[in-house]
Chains A and B, each alone.
Chain A
Amino acid sequence: MKEYTELPSRIAAQVRPAVVILVFLTLVTGICYPLLITAIAQVAFPVQANGDLLIHNGKVAGSALIGQPFSSPKYFWGRPSATTPGPYNAGHSSGSNLGPSNIALTDAVKARVAILHLADPSNKLPVPVDLVTASGSGLDPHISPAAAYYQVSRVARERGMTEVAVHALVDSHVEPRQFGFLGEPRVNVLELNLALDDISGAGGTAVAPGAADPHASETPWLRLPDWVLLALFIGFFVVTVVPLGRFMVRVIGGEPHLLSFVFDPVEQRVLAWSQVRAGEEMDWKTFALAMIVFSLSGIAFLVLLQLAQPLLPLNPAGAGSPPLDLALNTAVSFVTNTNWQAYAGETGMSYLTQMAGLTVQNFASAATGLAVLAGLAYGFSRRSGSTIGNFWALLLRSTFLLIPFCIILSLLLVSQGTVQTLAGPVTVPLLDPYRATDGTPVTTQTIPLGPAASQIAIKQLGVNGGGFFNANSAHPFENPTPFSNYLEMVAILFIPAALCYSFGRMIGAGRKGVSLLIAMTIIFLPLLGLAIAAETGGNPAFAPSGIDQTPSELQPGGNMEGKEVRFGIVGSTLFSVVTTAASCGAVNGMHDSFMPIGGFVQLFMMQLGEVVYGGIGSGLYGMIVFAIIAMFIAGLMVGRTPEYLGKKIEPDEMTIATIIILIPIILILVMTALAVLTDAGRAAVFNPGPHGFSEILYAFTSASQNNGSAFAGLSANTPFWTLATAFCMFVGRFLPAVLVLALAGSLVQKKIVPGSEGTLSDHRPLFILWLVFVVVIVGALSFLPALALGPIVEHLMLTGGV
């Protein structure tokens, strides 16, 4: 009883540090950091930071990164765009979200092929797939060279030019892969059309014909640059894991490091303001209370900030107050590191909310995960103790750790074209104005801007995933080039991967942490391969439409619906698998439109418990919980009370570990069942058949596992959905986190059992494989029936033609 009567005073003791630190973090990461990046960006990269505006004949003609709609036959046409109300509406980026088995998708593609044939009846070539499938952002500025060459005959005829001349112009506008190996060769449609107008105006001077062959050698499955991308991706971690891992150990442990001279005095000052005694340790209950109090303060602050945004500065687009349920959903979403977005960033959020609200929680939620992991590490490394570190100190250090990397990444992204400005949207003229369905002419395009790069850096590095714009990393202003795409992908796993090594070192054996990293990778690679195979294979439903889906040197091919040309299939699929493997949730293609098996991989990655890399801290502590269960069964099999990392696994640990594993499984399945049985739940479904079921399953999987990505066709902005997902996000984040702290509290009291021949190795290949088996089988046994009624049956129907 004593504990309960003490509870209010124990909570009260954490309120002051929570408020002080929240205010401090808001100032540092929400105001200073974005302003610093904006200042540097405006000086160093003025063109890129402000939207890469094209100046043509002295006038702004559009953005080099934002596509424009073209419907006149005399222009090259871009990718179909699914934005509303009209195509290429830069104010509301989005994909079609049509599922691969949706008849509406097949019909739309057929209609687009028919229009192409109508405009150029003599052209009997198969249509490159990217020309008839909608991009993920709806703003894709590019088409593949194949798609451009396909249109040469029509444009030449319409303009009275020779095909050779037009062909040559296309040749000169083919952008090669970045640095020769990254991304896809592509053609910027707006720039090509501007050049076309220039030549036509000048009388059509022929340029020497190029030698490009529209049907260059076709290669099966993966092309060399695809392999290069995969190798560069994995190579990045081979290089960074150890040095970054070491650095993090020093920062988290408060040992001297490169940046101590800044971090240490600030930490001491802030802790002093918070009235937290330096070096004061917490038992697990106090630690958990501090975490909860801090997170609830964050939610409250974020809700208020959103509601008040119309009254506050830095709101150039004039965003209003969101409804309370949406505000709560967004607040919970960012505080839980989920970053599920039921709102559209372009219109729903002011710059101030994005900076001082969302960006701050991007830092704080990641740092919270890291602090919990550090507590668990102390639980393992300490012998017969009772405390697991100080939450506030760990939270501050973890935040500091993220800042320098965010500064570097933001500036790299700005250099590629990610916008970073406080200026409001710009309006540009359309080169080829069109009439909207209601007959009104549309002659301009309004391009949103904002301090995006600073938020995207932490969105990726903090494994958050909440985009500045609606289309997230598919949006050309968030992820402008193949190189930015590479950076954003490696940024997601940058800290989770190295953290494995850090954890190993914190418990005294780096290799034990690396063994967890290897286990994660063993799960990651085959699923990645499966997804890539599914996506490069294209959509069999398109087969009768005369569409060319084969990857070649001139086109990415494959399932291009919802994907951007500059990333191609592998660059998009890798991103999707990374973002679901880690609990990031950023997307650079529309997951709803991935092939069933691509979607299966995304779902399964999350359903495994977000332990394959996972969120910062949370992924690793989840994996450690699995390792405890794997070690328990393995220990029984060798006839000894199991011990993991030197600590005996006893009923208390098993109870906690089992509940941690159970929570997301029960949340996902029960909430999905609730949604499919209620009208409010079913109303949100966009795609028919099993794919619609997948949308609901995906939403609760993503929310409960704090991923945040979505099968975005789902209309999640209704009270049922905002509240149901907010519930999942909150419970799915904090219940396991508190239990992990309880686990740490139980472990820390134990002696450390020294290893012997009879001890089962917790890091050698056999245990790694066993751990992989346990993780996969728990995931499979929990979700196979649901997956069978979603992506698996959809795949069978699509391939079997049933």
Chain B
Amino acid sequence: MPGAGKPSGQGTFDAGLYQRGIADAFRKLDPRQMARNPVMFVVELGSALTTLLWLQALTGHGEAPAGFIGAIAAWLWFTVLFANFAEALAEGRGKAQAESLKKMRQDTVAKKLATGFTIIKGREPAAASFSEVSSSSLRKGDLFYVKAGDTIPADGEVVEGVASVNESAITGESAPVIRESGGDRSAVTGGTVILSDWLIIRASANAGEGFLDHMIGLVEGAKRQKTPNEIALNILLIGLTMVFLVVCATLWAFSVYSVGAAGSGVPVTITVLVALLVCLAPTTIGGLLSAIGIAGMDRLIRRNVITTSGRAIEAAGDVDVLLLDKTGTITLGNRQAVDFIPVDGTTIDELAETAQLASLADETPEGRSIVVLAKEKYGLRGRTVGSTGSGPAMQFVPFTSQTRMSGVDYDTTQIRKGAADVMYTYITAVGNTASDDLKREVDTISRAGGTPLVVARNGRALGVIHLKDIVKGGMKERFSQLRRMGIKTIMITGDNRLTAATIAAEAGVDDFLAEATPESKLALIREYQTGGRMVAMTGDGTNDAPALAQADVAVAMNTGTQPAREAANMIDLDSNPTKLIEIVEIGKQLLMTRGALTTFSIANDLAKYFVIIPAAFVSTYPALAAINILGLHNAILSAVIFNALIIVFLIPIALHGVAYRPMSAEDALRNNILLYGAGGVIAPFIGIKIIDILLVLLGVG
């Protein structure tokens, strides 16, 4: 999976994790904790009840042999412990992560600026203007000052200064990043370390409520709230458990009647009914449900994505419209020169050379790509600024927002390059006219979705440079995968319609929004939402914030501005715009894992009836032996053991999620029904038979 973060998988487990998991499994037996999971709580009550029956049997007054009741009771306790262990294991991974984060959260000293402090641009505050306070006393809106070597005491927005900051504690990336006031790189995170220069920061969160605190809470699972789907599934599982509770309780009455009607046998024992109840209750999914949820969150964190709510992960699975920024997500960050087109009889070499000269001092990616193209295509060695010592002195004219041109002056030669409309004005101003040839070439490039740059020497147009957006490799495949998953991709760009359409076609997105403004983005999202769609988008700029707030799944880049990060419900620490696609996949995988294990759990029950019913009632009705198709000797014990062990076998699936490949809903359902539905019907027959054979070999029964 491209862009996958830190290594994942079983490798992250170590012995300590297991030990702690086992200890936690016992700790979680506390009924107050168990009551939060009704299915497993019922199992725990059943375990306690059979244990009491076992104690009674030890005194010689039991309803069945003490050995049998004891074995059932023991395996019922194991069932609970296994489920607890799964949950503890999932939580354990998060806890380890939280530990390292907590180390960063230690109390630091904050240089709080006095209220009423006036910020003077470029001026470091004097020592007298701030007081040293504990970072824990900072409140939202406070101004504070940090200089090289300080740990930033709280989340905030840079209001003055430029500095390099080490954010490796959060992102794992060791290269320092620049943080400065204004623009898109103004957000800083508490706990990161400032390496050079100084900053004045306005705290954006109260102490203890910052990003780091939030993250710790999330990975610890403390703030994990049940998501709507989880609640709905829980309701279904409680419903099923109630059905089985009623089935088992009433079965005792039916058994009493049957004994009377048949005149033989004894009523079914409570031990057997409890065993039946636990086998039927959806313990497999009930026991693993919270582990699945925690593991889903964990998978996201390991891909360096922080969510503010579990709900957002689920929503990610439901997304059917993805809004993707063109730049950086679909195309490489910048346009590149791909061609030189001479006009009015200029030779191509002349144009190439002039273009290269005009761009020598242009350090923008576009400018560099022109130099590179001239060098690679026309063999022109890039003459650097200093290499023309023998030649005339060169004077570079940088791009300004007033002239909107750049170029170079030497001797009497004036070379300029710029956007077509600007250059037309420039050419006309010196008394020339833009030729039809030139206009035709400019139009051709525009129509093809490219950006034409006109190159002129001394007020005469030599030709046009074709700048083009380069679509990232593999995007087309990615988008067609998304389409198969039923997700529509929409490219957002500030380009004009023509350019946008060309890139959209090349990248294979379903639709595009050209000449996008914050308002039009917001309107687009609202339009889709009104139509019942779930919309996801990524953004980093302050102007993305309204749209991010509106989107169902909003991923902000960690490099983004504070408003963008606050508006989003997920933050990508890698600031990788294609991460959204992975987030969608994780969301789907989470739901699928729940669905698959629910199906498996319910399908299992069929076999258990075949196993337990004849065993429980054969004394009353010997004819029922015909249903014992497996020919079991220890049917009830085998079923209980199977029921407990299957939880252990399924822990890896719960923690890693079911295999996920992008495919249509129909195909996914078919595959999962066959695997977990049909598999769920068959597996217990085989498993229980094997356990029964082993029990016989061990001399039980």
Nearest CB of B to A443, in Å: 43
| Stretch of A24-32, A419-427, A630-638, A723-731 with 4 or more beta carbons under 8 angstroms from chain B | A630-638
Nearest CB of B to A98, in Å: 16
List of A residues within 8 angstroms of B676 by Cβ: 637
- Whether a CB of chain B sits under 8 angstroms from the CB of A231 is no
List of B residues within 8 angstroms of A757 by Cβ: 483-486, 664-665
Q: Please, which residue of chain A has its CB at the minimum distance from the CB of B255?
A: A789
Give Cα A669–Cα B255 distance, bound, in whole angstroms: 13
- Whether a CB of chain B sits under 8 angstroms from the CB of A676 is yes
- Whether a CB of chain B sits under 8 angstroms from the CB of A662 is yes
> Per-position contact with A for B227-250: 1 when CB-CB < 8 Å, else 0?
011011101101110111011011
Q: Is the CB of B253 within 8 A of A633?
A: no
List of A residues within 8 angstroms of B247 by Cβ: 669, 781-782, 785-786
Give Cα A711–Cα B273 distance, bound, in whole angstroms: 29
Which of A636, A637, A690, A764 is within 8 Å of B621, CB to CB? A690
| Stretch of A331-339, A499-507, A649-657 with 4 or more beta carbons under 8 angstroms from chain B | A649-657
Classify chain A's interface size: 35 or more
Q: Please, which residue of chain A has its CB at the minimum distance from the CB of B592?
A: A639
Give Cα A662–Cα B669 distance, bound, in whole angstroms: 26
Nearest CB of B to A656, in Å: 9
Q: Please, which residue of chain B has its CB at the minimum distance from the CB of A676?
A: B257
List of B residues within 8 angstroms of A770 by Cβ: 669, 673
Interface centre among B244, B254, B531, B617 (most CB of A within 10 A): B254
- Whether a CB of chain B sits under 8 angstroms from the CB of A164 is no
Q: Is the CB of A797 within 8 A of B665?
A: no
Interface centre among A669, A759, A789 (most CB of B within 10 A): A789
Q: Is the CB of A759 within 8 A of B228?
A: no
- Whether a CB of chain B sits under 8 angstroms from the CB of A115 is no
Q: Is the CB of A638 within 8 A of B246?
A: no
| Stretch of B75-83, B170-178, B351-359, B594-602 with 4 or more beta carbons under 8 angstroms from chain A | B594-602
Q: Please, which residue of chain B has its CB at the minimum distance from the CB of A662?
A: B239
Q: Is the CB of B669 within 8 A of A637?
A: yes
Q: Please, which residue of chain B has its CB at the minimum distance from the CB of A629?
A: B236
> Per-position contact with B for A633-649: 1 when CB-CB < 8 Å, else 0?
11111111100001001
Give Cα A677–Cα B599 distance, bound, in whole angstroms: 35
- Whether a CB of chain B sits under 8 angstroms from the CB of A692 is yes
Q: Is the CB of A788 within 8 A of B613?
A: yes
Classify chain B's interface size: 35 or more
List A655-704 residues whose CB lies under 8 Å from chain B: 655, 658-659, 661-662, 665-666, 669-670, 672-674, 676-677, 682, 688-690, 692-693
- Whether a CB of chain B sits under 8 angstroms from the CB of A752 is yes
- Whether a CB of chain A sits under 8 angstroms from the CB of B660 is yes
> Per-position contact with A for B169-208: 1 when CB-CB < 8 Å, else 0?
0000000000000000000000000000000000000000
- Whether a CB of chain B sits under 8 angstroms from the CB of A173 is no
- Whether a CB of chain A sits under 8 angstroms from the CB of B128 is no
Q: Is the CB of B236 within 8 A of A788?
A: no
Q: Is the CB of A785 within 8 A of B609?
A: yes
Give Cα A758–Cα B591 distance, bound, in whole angstroms: 14
Q: Please, which residue of chain B has its CB at the minimum distance from the CB of A751?
A: B532
Which of B532, B603, B606, B669 is within 8 Å of A634, CB to CB? B669
Nearest CB of B to A618, in Å: 20
> Per-position contact with A for B406-430: 1 when CB-CB < 8 Å, else 0?
0000000000000000000000000
Q: Please, which residue of chain B has its CB at the minimum distance from the CB of A672?
A: B250
Q: Is the CB of A789 within 8 A of B254?
A: yes
Nearest CB of A to B535, in Å: 13
Q: Is the CB of A636 within 8 A of B598?
A: yes
- Whether a CB of chain B sits under 8 angstroms from the CB of A60 is no
Q: Is the CB of A752 within 8 A of B532?
A: yes
Q: Is the CB of A777 within 8 A of B533?
A: no
Number of A-B contacts (CB under 8 A): 219
Q: Is the CB of A665 within 8 A of B603?
A: no
Nearest CB of A to B381, in Å: 53
Which of A641, A655, A670, A688 is within 8 Å of B229, CB to CB? A641
> Per-position contact with B for A212-254: 1 when CB-CB < 8 Å, else 0?
0000000000000000000000000000000000000000000
Give Cα A238–Cα B627 distance, bound, in whole angstroms: 39
Which of B228, B243, B314, B599 is within 8 Å of A665, CB to CB? B243
- Whether a CB of chain A sits under 8 angstroms from the CB of B677 is yes
List of A residues within 8 angstroms of B488 by Cβ: 756
Give Cα A124–Cα B86 distance, bound, in whole angstroms: 74
- Whether a CB of chain B sits under 8 angstroms from the CB of A347 is no
List B308-324 residues whose CB lies under 8 Å from chain A: 314, 317-318, 320
Q: Please, which residue of chain A has its CB at the minimum distance from the CB of B484?
A: A757
List of A residues within 8 angstroms of B240 by Cβ: 781
Give Cα A665–Cα B245 distance, bound, in whole angstroms: 11
- Whether a CB of chain B sits under 8 angstroms from the CB of A208 is no
- Whether a CB of chain A sits under 8 angstroms from the CB of B588 is yes
List of B residues within 8 angstroms of A670 by Cβ: 246, 250
List of A residues within 8 angstroms of B621 by Cβ: 690, 789, 793, 796-797, 802
List of A residues within 8 angstroms of B255 by Cβ: 789
List B433-472 residues whose CB lies under 8 Å from chain A: none
Q: Is the CB of A633 within 8 A of B668?
A: no
List A756-780 residues whose CB lies under 8 Å from chain B: 756-761, 764, 766-767, 770, 773, 777, 780
Give Cα A669–Cα B256 distance, bound, in whole angstroms: 14
List of A residues within 8 angstroms of B590 by Cβ: 639
> With A637-B596, A789-B254 known to touch, is A654 a contact of B236 (CB < 8 Å)?
yes
List of A residues within 8 angstroms of B532 by Cβ: 646, 751-754
Which of B239, B262, B483, B624 is within 8 Å of A788, CB to CB? B624
Q: Is the CB of A634 within 8 A of B595?
A: yes
> With A689-B261, A782-B247 known to touch, is A676 a contact of B591 (CB < 8 Å)?
no
> With A658-B236, A672-B250, A758-B486 known to touch, is A635 a contact of B624 (CB < 8 Å)?
no
Q: Is the CB of A673 within 8 A of B591?
A: no
Give Cα A793–Cα B664 distance, bound, in whole angstroms: 45
Q: Is the CB of B670 within 8 A of A673?
A: no
Nearest CB of B to A650, in Å: 5
- Whether a CB of chain B sits under 8 angstroms from the CB of A530 is no
Q: Is the CB of B257 within 8 A of A682?
A: yes
Q: Is the CB of A677 within 8 A of B256?
A: yes
- Whether a CB of chain A sits under 8 angstroms from the CB of B150 is no
List of A residues within 8 angstroms of B473 by Cβ: none
List B524-546 residues whose CB lies under 8 Å from chain A: 530-533
Give Cα A661–Cα B236 distance, bound, in whole angstroms: 10
Q: Is the CB of B239 within 8 A of A761?
A: no
Give Cα A331–Cα B642 distance, bound, in whole angstroms: 51
Q: Is the CB of B591 within 8 A of A639?
A: yes
Give Cα A633–Cα B232 distance, bound, in whole angstroms: 10
List of B residues within 8 angstroms of A676 by Cβ: 253-254, 256-257
Q: Is the CB of B486 within 8 A of A800?
A: no
> With A758-B320, A760-B665 known to touch, is A677 a contact of B253 (CB < 8 Å)?
yes
Give Cα A41–Cα B603 distance, bound, in whole angstroms: 56
> With A781-B602, A793-B624 known to touch, is A786 a contact of B254 (CB < 8 Å)?
yes
Q: Is the CB of A754 within 8 A of B599?
A: no
Give Cα A689–Cα B257 distance, bound, in whole angstroms: 9
Q: Is the CB of B246 within 8 A of A651?
A: no
- Whether a CB of chain A sits under 8 angstroms from the CB of B376 is no
Q: Is the CB of B672 within 8 A of A781?
A: no
- Whether a CB of chain A sits under 8 angstroms from the CB of B578 is no
Nearest CB of B to A735, in Å: 15
Q: Please, which residue of chain A has its CB at the minimum distance from the CB of B589?
A: A639
- Whether a CB of chain A sits under 8 angstroms from the CB of B622 is yes
Give Cα A751–Cα B531 distance, bound, in whole angstroms: 8
Nearest CB of A to B590, in Å: 8
List 10 additional contacts besides A637-B672, A781-B243; criterion CB under 8 Å. Answer: A634-B669, A638-B669, A639-B591, A639-B668, A640-B318, A651-B232, A751-B531, A786-B247, A788-B613, A802-B623
A residues contacting B by CB (< 8 A) are: 629, 632-641, 646, 649-651, 653-655, 658-659, 661-662, 665-666, 669-670, 672-674, 676-677, 682, 688-690, 692-693, 751-754, 756-761, 764, 766-767, 770, 773, 777, 780-782, 784-786, 788-789, 792-793, 796-797, 800, 802
What are the nearest 7 A-B pairs in CB distance?
A758-B486, A636-B595, A639-B588, A637-B595, A757-B486, A673-B253, A658-B239
